[in-house]
Amino acid sequence: MSSTQDWVDAVSQELNVTTPVDVAMLLDVARIAAHQVERPAAPLTTYLLGYVVGQGMDPAVAMGKITELAANWPPGGEVAK
């Protein structure tokens, strides 16, 4: 078992998280956000992913939306509002 998985297991136990944590998916979404947007986007994006999944969104749907958004993110991050 990796130290990352040990950490996730310990935090899950401490916070009484009873559902399995998909570490690979979280690391994947963090990598995508860090590389396509900027590094600080990684933890914020994983938080938002967890938030919407906690609200009932299917994890695969949320991941797909994030991946598509990141793939189309403009270089430099300047987005017209």
pLDDT of residue 81: 65
pLDDT of residue 80: 62
According to the 3-state scheme, what is the secondary structure of the chain? CCHHHHHHHHHHHHCCCCCCCCHHHHHHHHHHHHHHCCCCHHHHHHHHHHHHHHCCCCHHHHHHHHHHHHHCCCHHHCCCC
Domain positions in the chain are 20-76
pLDDT of residue 43: 96
pLDDT of residue 76: 74
pLDDT surpassing 80 at residue 18:
yes
Per-residue model confidence as pLDDT tens digits over 22-61: 999 999 999 999 999 999 999 999 999 999 999 999 999 9
